[in-house]
């Protein structure tokens, strides 16, 4: 049975999903932004591409999107809608609700997109999270400000990664930051900052159960890299270690509590230095960014994009999905801004190199091996080499609040 998939990607990503979805025998439609028209999409695996123009304020009018899709659906049947990027999760849920297409609805989608909703849901489920508060009510903010241990971070509810985060160190700075948000303060939350090691768990969920669960550790936290202009690195967590067992169990409990039925997911946790406990930070119902999918594949042999497409096809067609055999390797990634557009990377030639990034003014390498110690040693070697030869720093700027 041939099915029709509408894939939404307002950022250039997901080519492997599109390719795998088409190879599974589906009709594949892509909805993306006009400014991404000339990106190297795998057009031979896409039946038709629809473009939208995003307004200057960056907020797409969903009602206009509905009108456009309604017109399209007069002549084309859509069986499933898949959001390939974080910013598209809510769009996908809204369109599914409007056209009564099976899949994640708006309430569940909020748990994987809205940082306040996911914290409230985690608290409701009894999961360990840092102290937080919405910024709706002055009395509640005051109670939080007077009781919390500083520092505190002010986070936008709807941004991805570390965008728009501001750290404050006392009650006065907290209120200053809240007032500076003006009429937009309801779009933010405040949360106690927990220093510690940050981990990501990349997973596949099928029929409400986690069938693939892979834990890795950021060697520098994403916030340190984004705001300090550092080098991004991550490595597989030791198999069967206490930290691996704790992270994988936490992630399973989290995804079950959030009601995920079938999807790829990317969740982040912190192992707090102060009390040794693991805390939930955030989650997303999509494949992780920053080429972490390639890093996971280098270690496990599982391509998250491909398996997600196969799973979506199986669910839509009422077929049985089976995960391929998982490999027991280790892998690590290093990515940095650099001072040259296209440097000669021939000296980064160790046999353990699995993948190299092809992007101007960036260097990115993934290495894999059966030995985690060797992976860490090569990452350290290449990190120092990048610092001395190529590294360029461009710390993330805070976004204006008005």
Tell me the pLDDT tens digit for each residue of 140-167: 999 999 999 999 999 999 876 566 899 9
Tell me the pLDDT tens digit for each residue of 214-264: 999 999 867 667 655 679 999 999 999 999 999 999 999 999 999 999 999
CA 393 centroid distance within chain: 23
How far, in Å, CA of 271 to CA of 203, rounded?
19
Q: Do 358 and 267 fall within a single domain?
A: yes
Q: What is the pLDDT of residue 328?
A: 94
Q: Is the pLDDT of residue 395 over 60?
A: no
Q: What's the average model confidence in pLDDT over 38-47?
A: 98
- The CA angle 18-22-25, to the nearest 5 degrees, is 155
The Cα-based distances of 114 to 110, 281, 398 in angstroms read: 5, 12, 20
Q: Do 249 and 366 fall within a single domain?
A: yes
Does any domain span residue 124? no
Handedness of CA 226, 229, 231, 237 (dihedral sign): negative
Tell me the pLDDT tens digit for each residue of 377-394: 999 999 999 999 998 876
Longest dimension (CA), the chain: 62
| Across 79-83, 298-302, 322-326, 385-389, least confident range | 385-389
Q: Do 289 and 150 fall within a single domain?
A: no
Q: Do 137 and 56 fall within a single domain?
A: no
Q: Do 8 and 68 fall within a single domain?
A: yes
CA 370 centroid distance within chain: 26
**Domain count within the chain:** 3
Does any domain span residue 227? yes
Q: Is the pLDDT of residue 83 over 70?
A: yes
Q: What is the mean pLDDT of the chain?
A: 94
Does any domain span residue 398? no
Does any domain span residue 120? no
How far, in Å, CA of 343 to CA of 338, rounded?
9
| Helices (H) then strands (E): counts for the chain | 12, 16
Burial of 368 per CB tally in 10 Å (0-12, 13-18, 19+): buried
**Where residue 144 sits, what CATH number does that domain have?**
3.30.1490.20
Q: What is the pLDDT of residue 164?
A: 83
Does any domain span residue 80? yes
DSSP code of 9? -
Q: Do 148 and 166 fall within a single domain?
A: yes
Tell me the pLDDT tens digit for each residue of 87-115: 999 999 999 999 999 999 999 999 999 99
Q: Do 208 and 268 fall within a single domain?
A: yes
Q: Is the pLDDT of residue 174 over 50?
A: yes
Does any domain span residue 122? no
Q: What is the pLDDT of residue 162?
A: 63
Q: What is the pLDDT of residue 352?
A: 98
Q: What's the average model confidence in pLDDT over 260-280?
A: 97
Nearest to 260 by CA among 99, 95, 103, 78: 103
Q: Do 139 and 263 fall within a single domain?
A: no
Q: Is the pLDDT of residue 400 over 50?
A: no
Q: Do 183 and 214 fall within a single domain?
A: no
Which among 156, 176, 192 is the end of a domain?
Answer: 192
Does any domain span residue 204? yes
Which among 192, 226, 261 is the end of a domain?
Answer: 192
| Across 161-165, 340-344, 372-376, least confident range | 161-165
Q: Which domain holds residue 150?
A: 131-192
Q: Do 211 and 255 fall within a single domain?
A: yes
Q: What is the pLDDT of residue 60?
A: 81
Q: What is the pLDDT of residue 227?
A: 57
CA 186 centroid distance within chain: 23
Q: What's the average model confidence in pLDDT over 343-357?
A: 95
Which among 139, 158, 192 is the end of a domain?
Answer: 192
Q: What is the pLDDT of residue 402?
A: 30
Q: What's the average model confidence in pLDDT over 359-372?
A: 96
**Where residue 321 sits, what CATH number does that domain have?**
3.30.470.20
Does any domain span residue 318? yes
Q: Is the pLDDT of residue 194 over 80?
A: yes
Q: Do 384 and 246 fall within a single domain?
A: yes
**Where residue 21 sits, what CATH number does that domain have?**
3.40.50.20
Q: Do 267 and 331 fall within a single domain?
A: yes
């Amino acid at each position: 049975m041939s099915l029709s998939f509408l894939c939404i990607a307002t950022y250039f990503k997901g080519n492997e999903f599109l390719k795998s979805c088409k190879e599974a025998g589906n009709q594949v439609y892509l909805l993306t932004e006009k400014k991404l028209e000339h990106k190297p999409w795998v057009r031979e695996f896409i039946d038709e591409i629809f473009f939208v123009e995003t307004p200057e304020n960056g907020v797409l009018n969903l009602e206009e999107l509905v009108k456009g899709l309604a017109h399209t659906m007069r002549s084309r049947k859509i069986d499933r809608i898949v959001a390939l990027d974080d910013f598209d999760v809510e769009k996908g849920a809204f369109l599914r609700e409007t056209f009564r297409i099976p899949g994640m609805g708006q309430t569940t989608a909020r748990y994987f997109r809205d940082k306040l909703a996911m914290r409230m849901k985690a608290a409701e489920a009894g999961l360990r999270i840092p102290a937080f508060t919405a910024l709706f009510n002055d009395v509640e903010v005051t109670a939080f400000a007077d009781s919390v241990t500083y520092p505190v971070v002010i986070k936008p509810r709807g941004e991805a990664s570390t965008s728009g985060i501001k750290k404050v160190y006392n009650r006065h700075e907290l209120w200053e930051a809240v007032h500076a948000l003006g009429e937009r303060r309801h779009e933010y939350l405040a949360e106690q900052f927990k220093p510690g090691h940050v981990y990501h768990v990349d997973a596949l969920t099928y029929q409400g159960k986690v069938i693939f669960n892979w834990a890795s550790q950021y060697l520098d936290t994403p916030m340190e890299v984004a705001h300090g202009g550092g080098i991004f690195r991550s490595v597989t967590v030791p198999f069967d270690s206490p930290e691996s067992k704790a992270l994988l169990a936490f992630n399973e409990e989290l995804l079950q509590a959030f009601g995920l039925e079938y999807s790829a997911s990317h969740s982040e946790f912190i192992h707090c230095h102060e009390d040794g406990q693991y805390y939930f930070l955030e989650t997303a119902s999509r494949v992780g960014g920053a080429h972490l999918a390639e890093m996971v594949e280098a270690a496990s042999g599982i391509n998250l994009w491909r398996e997600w497409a196969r799973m979506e096809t199986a669910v839509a067609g009422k077929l049985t999905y089976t995960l391929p055999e998982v490999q027991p390797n280790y892998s690590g990634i290093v990515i940095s801004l650099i001072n040259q557009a296209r440097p000669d990377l021939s000296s980064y030639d160790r046999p353990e190199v699995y993948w190299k990034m092809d992007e101007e003014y960036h260097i990115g390498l993934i290495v894999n091996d059966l030995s985690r110690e060797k992976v860490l040693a090569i990452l350290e070697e290449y990190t120092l080499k990048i610092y001395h030869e190529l590294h360029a720093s461009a710390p993330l700027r805070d976004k204006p609040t008005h």
